[in-house]
Amino acid sequence: MRVKDVFMTQNIEIAMRMEGITKRFPGVLANDRISLDCRKGEVLGLLGENGAGKTTLMNILYGLHQPDSGKIFIEGKEVKIESPAKAIELGIGMVHQHFKLVDTLTALENVILGIPSEHPMVLDLAPARKRFLSLCEEYDLYVDPTVETWRLSVGKQQWLEILKALYRDARLLVLDEPTAVLTPSEGEQLFKAIRKLTKEGRSVIFISHKFGEVLEITDRITVIRDGHVVGTVPTKEATYPELARMMVGRPVSMDRKPRPSATKIDPVLVMENVQANNDRGLPALKNINLTVKAGEIVGVAGVDGNGQLELAECIVGLRKRTGGSIRIQGHDVDRVMADPSFVGYIPADRQKVGLFLTLTVAENLVVKDYAKPPFTRRGVLRYQAIRQHANRLIKEYNIRTPSSEVQVVHLSGGNQQKVVVAREMSAQPPLVIASQATRGLDLGAVESVHNFLLKERNRGAAVLFISTELQEVMSLSDRIIVMFRGEIMGEMDGEAADINVIGQMMLGQVTEVVA
């Protein structure tokens, strides 16, 4: 092993090394001869665009997939990881983006699940509890061991996953998008714990798409694009534009989107003292007062789960409010349900709300208007008109599909979203609600969604743009409001918005409103 020898002479200990990992799925080359290493006591950032192959690579490391070729070395020894059990045995811990916890078990039970007991017939939790609590203390990640997991917040569930891995004495911890579900303060606590882990000589692979935190927490960054490694850079030498270029393959502009100044001032959406509950019946919106005018984009910033979803659903009439009034162009919102052409809605969960996966593209494009001419004449659906309509929108919105007769389920995420956008925008509604409209999309699709929204604004639509990605809120909004625990913490001009002020508001710290 010549490569290893070189490292040894440099006196750097390698915790894990992957060499020439190739993984092919039917018709897809997910990993193309990927080689990377993670040193002892370091945080390795794994950065890559959506679909670049990061998750597949980590699933191979954790024994969930077998590579078609390539080798894995743990602490210098070549290993075959044929199952997660083997990975755990080798000291690898993984926190998936979607947690693998048993909801109805307590936190402690989840931690010991799968570990053989010393006395096979008895379940003695006392020693386990002691060890668990000492881990909580050591890493300052406290989770109540007696609480059923479903009652824990998402952030605590993630800590529990980390504690679970540490309980098994993981020496290499893989964190897949760990901060996506955390509030900023929880994120900071996580970072503290990560630093402590590496001080003890453990290694962490940190998968993320957020440049800021990757630059903050990692020691080295490996960038993956289209299934192969673009390069590895020490974090100290990395710069934001450089990383973005490596990741995307071309320079990326992060500037504010240029736009003509708004001319219209008529309020389109007026919300007064709106209150609503979440799915569990707890108050999710508390006295929301909000006006969105024609020709402006109002961005809604905030950590996920602070009432944004409920806000959007109240406006489009999918959720009953418990108080207050919502008017759209002066009409009560309850009319919206009767006439869906009033509001264009790009839902956060496009597959659940926005699309009919096993209907065709053409059918999906008319689900709001199918009963109107020209799609229905004399009570009969006119498929020719429906197809023509579809072909026009496919062209206009650059939806990539072989034909209008393909089921939407076969399209990629970005093109599925374009189907939703095309349908919702083509009716030229006075009000557009975009809720996490770019979630899970790759760069090209994100940009086109942004451009379509800007076009709607310039046409004179009132646009409410809800996103947890601060950067896109800041680049797209004319006005920004910040939500925290169902309340609007403050409002500011998009041009002059200060990211620090918004960040504080997202944490619930009331700041003087900058109008």
Partner 1 sequence: MNNKKQRGYVSLPGIGDLALSGLRPLIGILLGLIAGAGLIALSGVNPLSAYVAMLKGAFGSPQAFANVLVRASPLLIGGVGVAIGIKAGLWNVGIEGYMYAGAIGAGMVGIAALPVAPIVHIILSFLAAIAFAVVWGLGPAYMKAYRGVNEVVATIMMNYVAIFFTSWMVHEPQPMAEPGSFFPMSRMIAPTAKLPILMKGTSLHPGFIIGLIACVVLYFVLRYTPFGFRTRMLGVNPVGSRYAGVNVRQQMLFVLLIGALMGGVSGAVEILGLKQRVYMDFVAGVGYESVAVALLAGGNPLGVIASALFFSALKAGGATMSIQTGVGGPMTVVIEALCVIFVIGVGYSERKRLERLDVAEKEDKEVEYDVA
Restricting to residues 138-177, which ones interact with partner 1 according to CB under 8 A? Answer: 176-177
Contact 204, 121 (CB under 8 A): no
| Interface pick for partner 1 out of 15, 18, 21, 48 (rule CB under 8 A) | 48
Does residue 307 belong to the site contacting partner 1 (CB under 8 A)?
no
Q: Rule CB under 8 A: which of 333-372 touch partner 1? A: 337-340, 345, 347, 352-359, 363, 367-368, 370-371
Closest CB to partner 1 among residues 324, 340: 340
Q: Rule CB under 8 A: which of 191-210 touch partner 1? A: 207, 209
CB of 28 to partner 1, least distance (A): 5
Checking DSSP bridges between strand 43-48 and strand 220-225, what pairing results, if any? parallel
Contact 206, 178 (CB under 8 A): yes
- The DSSP line for 102-120 is -TTSBHHHHHHTTSPPSST
Cα distances from 136 to residues 79, 139, 142, 144, 188, in angstroms, run 31, 6, 5, 9, 16
Residue 454-493 contact track with partner 1, rule CB under 8 A, x = bound:
---------------x-xxxxxx-----------------
Does residue 259 belong to the site contacting partner 1 (CB under 8 A)?
no
DSSP label of 180? G
Burial of 71 per CB tally in 10 Å (0-12, 13-18, 19+): middle
CB of 41 to partner 1, least distance (A): 25
Measure the CA–CA gap between 109 and 374, rounded to whole angstroms: 60
Q: In what order do the strands lie in the sheet with 343-346?
A: 343-346, 431-435, 462-466, 297-301, 479-484, 487-493
Closest CB to partner 1 among residues 147, 454: 454
Token pair for 421: 């956008």
| Interface pick for partner 1 out of 50, 232, 322, 329 (rule CB under 8 A) | 50
Residue 261-300 contact track with partner 1, rule CB under 8 A, x = bound:
----------------------------------------
| Interface pick for partner 1 out of 6, 28, 85, 513 (rule CB under 8 A) | 28
Q: Rule CB under 8 A: which of 321-340 touch partner 1? A: 337-340
Closest CB to partner 1 among residues 97, 273: 97
Token pair for 144: 């109540």
Does residue 441 belong to the site contacting partner 1 (CB under 8 A)?
yes
Kindly indicate which of the ranges 10-18, 26-34, 160-168, 501-509 contains the residues binding partner 1, using the contact rule CB under 8 A: 26-34
Checking DSSP bridges between strand 228-234 and strand 220-225, what pairing results, if any? antiparallel
| Bridge partners, residue 175, by sequence | 95, 206
Closest CB to partner 1 among residues 189, 401: 401
Q: Rule CB under 8 A: which of 58-97 touch partner 1? A: 59, 97
Closest CB to partner 1 among residues 155, 227: 227
Measure the CA–CA gap between 270 and 147, rounded to whole angstroms: 42
Q: Rule CB under 8 A: which of 390-409 touch partner 1? A: 400-402, 406
| Interface pick for partner 1 out of 63, 305, 414, 494 (rule CB under 8 A) | 414
Closest CB to partner 1 among residues 469, 487: 469
Q: Indicate the helix (H) or strand (E) that contains 500.
A: helix 499-506
Residue type at 17 in one-letter notation:
R
Contact 152, 125 (CB under 8 A): no
Residue type at 416 in one-letter notation:
Q
Does residue 415 belong to the site contacting partner 1 (CB under 8 A)?
yes
